[in-house]
Amino acid sequence: MPCRQPRGCRLPACRIPGVPPPARPGACVPCETEFVLFGSAKRQMIEADDALPGRPAYSYRVPETHEVLGTPLQGPWPEGTQVLYVAMGCFWGAERIFWQLPGVVTTAAGYMGGFTPHPTYEEVCTGRTGHTEAVLVAFDPTAISAELLMATFWENHDPTQGNRQGNDVGTQYRSAVYWTTADQEAAARGTREAFQGVLREHGHGDISTELRPASEAGTFYYAEAYHQQYLHKNPGGYCNHGPNGMSCPIGIVRQDQLPAQKDVLPPH
């Protein structure tokens, strides 16, 4: 089966028989043959009973230190540090957006919101783990607000695309926010309402972003070492993120002004 992706394969070694490795390993998006192999199941959220079994521990070593910030990737972090998890398509570009923000202590690429314990990247790519590619954002709330983090999130991807982000298609690329504090929840819901209005003004559809407490979304599993701070180590690597041209109003919605809402589950 020939590889149909002109930019090569995003895996460190192609798993498709007969396909030569890419010229620059890890430089590009998953090839189209992956969609042929796994079919339309990647576009629908898998049921827990059908998820891959996974394993009891990581099958790879997680780095200790952030390549750019020099801070612990897995903690411990300074007292008062908060953690917010966001998903907005490929985690390479998403992570870079957040590590550049003043007040961010560390960031990490990983998998969250699924069923398979300690999944590998290859497993997540099948759509059979239920995870989305997520970014852990550890930040100092006295230096940067959750509201500003959320505005950055909305303004740098298309949150209306469901189980895809641009050319990256599948449940593992769905947009999501998983909060760990009440203030983060208020910021997520408030900015969502504000940005939905902006989207409608520009003729766009409804936001499909999954909104849930991190406690419900489940464990954040750190991705393999080569994914961590990928675009720092590979400046010319694949990235489909950038400003979407719309500004998210912040500082205009208080928690007591928000309408009653239920958590928004993953799109099907």
Catalogue the active-site residues.
90
CA distance linking residue 128 with residue 172, whole number of Å: 9
Two structure tokens written together for 16: 């498709």
Q: What H or E segment, with its residue span, contains residue 169?
A: strand 168-169
CA distance linking residue 268 with residue 46, whole number of Å: 9
Two structure tokens written together for 184: 């983060």
CA distance linking residue 27 with residue 223, whole number of Å: 16
Two structure tokens written together for 49: 């009973």
> SS3 letters for 54-112?
CCCCCCCCCCCECCCCCCECCCCCCCCCEEEEEEECCHHHHHHHHHCCCCEEEEEEEEE
Two structure tokens written together for 267: 């799109």
